[in-house]
Amino acid sequence: MSSNRLEQLYRFLEDRPEDDFLLFAIAKEYEKLENEEKAEKYYLKLQDLHPNYVGTYYHLGKLYERAEDFELATEIYEKGMEIAKALGDKHAFGELRGAHEMLNF
């Protein structure tokens, strides 16, 4: 690990292993380090443990877009839109819909 921030996040995670914000922050740090595999691992863990954490779907979809897995990105955006709609989160729904439309334009 070359990121001091990542090391700090892992220390926090020891005390709160299922904390949604920490899992998200670790995934984002791995993205910054261009470690897409580890980023995906933490996004998927976050999605599994906290399916209503709607930010996951946008960032995981973007990760799949960069990997040129457009079918999976589309599925993730659609799932995120369903959850955002069910939660009444219009902002997240709009962001996910915009990403979905740009991908499938």
Looking at the structure, do residues 38 and 64 belong to the same domain, yes or no? no
Looking at the structure, do residues 81 and 39 belong to the same domain, yes or no? no
CA angle 62, 38, 20 (to 5 degrees): 75
Looking at the structure, do residues 101 and 60 belong to the same domain, yes or no? yes
Enter the tokens of residue 28: 């984002």
Q: Please, what are the averages of pLDDT over each run of 10 residues along the chain (105 residues)?
A: 84 96 97 96 98 97 97 98 98 97 91
Looking at the structure, do residues 79 and 44 belong to the same domain, yes or no? no
Alpha-carbon distance of 43 to 27, in angstroms, equals 6
Looking at the structure, do residues 45 and 4 belong to the same domain, yes or no? yes
Provide φ and ψ at 17, rounded to 5°: -65, -15
Instruction: Please check whether residue 86 is in contact with residue 78, taking contact to mean a CB–CB distance below 8 angstroms.
Output: no
Residue 2's pLDDT is 57
Eight-state DSSP code of residue 78: H
> Which residue pairs, CB below 8 angstroms and at least 24 apart, start in 67-74?
67/36, 70/103, 73/103, 74/100, 74/103, 74/104
Looking at the structure, do residues 44 and 27 belong to the same domain, yes or no? yes
Q: Is the pTM above the cut of 0.85?
A: yes
Q: What is the CATH number of the domain that holds 68?
A: 1.25.40.10
Q: Which residues contact 104 (CB under 8 A, 6 or more apart)?
A: 74
Number of domains in the chain: 2
Residue 104's pLDDT is 84
Looking at the structure, do residues 1 and 41 belong to the same domain, yes or no? yes
Q: Provide the domain limits for residue 15.
A: 1-50
Looking at the structure, do residues 45 and 83 belong to the same domain, yes or no? no
Looking at the structure, do residues 64 and 95 belong to the same domain, yes or no? yes
